[in-house]
Amino acid sequence: MIGRLNHVAIAVKDLAAATAVYRDTLGGRVSDAVPQPDHGVTTVFVELPNTKIELLEPLGEDSPIARFLDRNPDGGIHHLCYEVEDILAARDRLIGEGARVLGGGEPRIGAHGKPVLFLHPKDFCGTLVELEQA
């Protein structure tokens, strides 16, 4: 059901500093910062030959990333994003197998302009999983 790894998301306190590490220290190609108000974050993507790294900075105090950083003050891996061919079919199959879909279960438009869903970390080995329609 899952396809390729689309990205690994890393929560950071300071997006400019994190971007500099990936661009200047590691020599990565990074996108411009883009506010995602529907998700409460500002994102930067680091392009890699086989996937992407998504840097997430809270956009306001109510951001889920702000809460994550409260628990993890140094930041860290927030979620993994896998591509699926049909997000609704994937959702229905996962629910049928007992998985919990967060946020009411309806896809929302993600940072790439495609439908996404998040799956409860307790159902996936302690890892928050994002599914994105390919």
Active site residues: 130
Q: Are 7 and 54 spatial neighbours (Cβ–Cβ below 8 Å)?
A: yes
Measured CA to CA, the distance from residue 8 to residue 132 in angstroms comes to 13
Give me the residue label for tokens 């438009």: 109
**Which two tokens mark 50?**
């086989």
Q: Are 78 and 63 spatial neighbours (Cβ–Cβ below 8 Å)?
A: no
Measured CA to CA, the distance from residue 12 to residue 69 in angstroms comes to 8
Measured CA to CA, the distance from residue 108 to residue 93 in angstroms comes to 18
Helix or strand or coil: residue 106?
Answer: coil
